Structure 1
């Protein structure tokens, strides 16, 4: 061996700075480690499944759960258990849609334009009437219909057919494309129409038809006996039967069944968008009574449980247009508030309806204030007439606030509910949770009822009295407890309302001749 070779062999190997060397030895080690991890994961999964099986087998034996605990342990758990979910963040909602009945009037397969008593006037209309259902829809989506009505009015049967297909077609893209065609044709109709030939917009009966076809019962849309439309469900069914009964059976049609497997939110939103577009482009399309019934219909639909997590911005935009279009506002607004307060029996649902009313227009704020007072009166069982004057409304709100004392509400709710064999402690806790839940909702309604764009000196005095009553009757009556989180949640609402009122007070001047306002005790 040469000296030079000895020199090279005697040198220590140079350590590479590379963090990973793709050698066979490293690959084998990684494979072994991965195999070990997989075995551990598999064993852990088997243990979890085994424990679940043991728990499911011993459900009857462990049904009590606390039977093996001593009295001392039970007392300890009872003393330190925390109640967190007595006041939910979201309203419970209602089951408005019955999806098993969806598509009972019509579906995308039996809506044939040839059955709409339509006489063709141009080549494209003749092409439509000579085509099948699928071909008709294809012609609409590809823009043939829009080009046919550039300079002439589109016939009402065609618009009504498009409106119904848009409401029932399960494909989101197809429904949205039909919405675009409807808007385009409606805008052209509005530009070329005159007083003798007003452009078509969906009537209350047309809207009710498509919503009932989505799975909402007719009685749910109009639940109030004194506010019923001029038509009923039989009228809708008989009218639509003339349209769809002539459809001949086809081999390629899908078997009859529900049109939707879940709440058709996309179709519903498209219907609402088109109504909002129509009320913007075409003024005076609905009477005051029709607007009232349409608002109640939309409010009722918004209570659907599956719509709780969806921002209903399009609903609110339509509300703005409908509220603005009411001509006899002073008469219809109190009637609307009274009717909306009857749409649900749950107080949290009623608060949701109040907060759904758009607050960025004057009429929306007026509805929110009066509707809040109506609901407070209903929940407190104080059946009084809501005055129109703002000062009298604030005085009435002060009276309502005094009745919201938590201890008084708990006492009233407990009267007549305790049974001899019932666990009184458990019953008291449940009643207190219900009472604080009710107070939580009432305080939000109080906040809505006390909101004004500008605060004058009289309203300032009312706000000072409201601050004193809120502090005396609500805040001082709540004894916070680390275990009873719902009390803290209510007290947090009290603090926020108090801060809001103080901000409103500070932004207005005191009464003439005074430098400061001081709280005066109740006489």
Structure 2
């Protein structure tokens, strides 16, 4: 007896029936990004605005869809091609970023994405196209950080995807996606070290503040405060992603020097450039994250230190 399972196009049609209006759900082909710009950064979801009860109902319907797809992949794991799996993962990630569902748990979605990831046959060959597709799901750094968090670090593939996707998102947000050899011979820690130097708040401020400020002094002060908040917000997301890159690595003694350089870069380019103020609590929040990240990386340094670096009181006795 042959069991029925929905095709990618049928899943898209179900999402459309649930109210999806985003044209990105129907690209001209897999991983083509020409029509993926969302209409508004203020509303980055795939669904029309709904009242809270309807949002809960939508979450329940999506949960049923996720569980049914989990069942399909458990019963017939080879029924979908790699291309269909990648397209389905992109579709699910877009749906998961719906602004109306932001406060609801994503357990079923995370389990489904983990199962899809483990069912990709050509691995790690499909890692690059998957990361390229997912890194363009949204134009906002907050959404891209949330997308990375959809993928659990419970398996080696999950950690590999989280690390590489985080690196690609950082590079994209800093405008370095084309110039850096993200898929070259350099290690991810070495690439992250190059990107970390570009995450300095003053550098981000120059990138975000390219527009002309208002002529009125009062408006200038307000615009400057808003820009400062945007800079810290972006830097916070980028630094969180940098932490994902490092935490997803199996740090070896050979990488001790690269991690040590990362700690130096973090302190030099970010921590020392954050001036806390009672009127700007977002700076304090960013400073706290930088401090916590530095402590975690220093702890990793202590655990992966090469044997030759340890002091031995019994040496030469």
Q: What's the TM-score bracket when you normalise by the shorter of the two chains? A: 0.7 to 0.9
Describe how 1:120-519 pairs up with structure 2 within 5 A.
193=1, 198-217=2-21, 219-223=23-27, 227=31, 262-263=54-55, 264-383=58-177, 384-387=180-183, 389=185, 392-421=187-216, 423-510=219-306, 512-515=307-310
TM-score normalised per structure 2: 0.85
Distance 1:403 1:281 in 2: 47
Show the counterpart of 2:35: none
TM-score normalised per structure 1: 0.52
Distance 1:474 1:288 in 2: 40
Distance 2:7 2:144 in 1: 27
1:262 is paired with a residue whose SS is: helix
1:18-51 Cα deviation digits (max 9, x unpaired): xxxxxxxxxxxxxxxxxxxxxxxxxxxxxxxxxx
RMSD between aligned residues: 2.2
What's the offset of the Cα at 1:381? 0.8
Distance 2:235 2:28 in 1: 27
Stretches of structure 2 lacking an aligned partner (at least 5 in a row):
33-49, 312-317
What's the offset of the Cα at 1:224? 7.2
Q: Which moved more, 1:436-445 or 1:495-504?
A: 495-504
Taking structure 1 as reference, are residues 374 and 458 closer, same or farther at Cα in structure 2, changes over 3 Å only? Answer: same
What's the offset of the Cα at 1:502? 1.4
User: Where in structure 1 do 4 or more consecutive aligned residues deviate above 4 Å?
Assistant: 223-226
Distance 1:410 1:205 in 2: 43
Q: Is the 8 A contact 1:337 1:371 kept in 2?
A: yes
1:453-503 Cα deviation digits (max 9, x unpaired): 531112221111111111111111111111110000001111111111112
What's the offset of the Cα at 1:199? 2.2
Q: Is the 8 A contact 1:221 1:301 kept in 2?
A: no
The aligned length equals: 288
What's the offset of the Cα at 1:388? 5.5
Taking structure 1 as reference, are residues 463 and 212 closer, same or farther at Cα in structure 2, changes over 3 Å only? Answer: same
Q: Is the 8 A contact 1:341 1:375 kept in 2?
A: yes
1:298-346 Cα deviation digits (max 9, x unpaired): 0000011221111111111111111111111222111111111111111
Q: Is the 8 A contact 2:66 2:109 kept in 1?
A: yes
Q: Is the 8 A contact 2:30 2:87 kept in 1?
A: no
Q: Is the 8 A contact 2:31 2:129 kept in 1?
A: no
Distance 1:378 1:224 in 2: 23
1:167-186 Cα deviation digits (max 9, x unpaired): xxxxxxxxxxxxxxxxxxxx
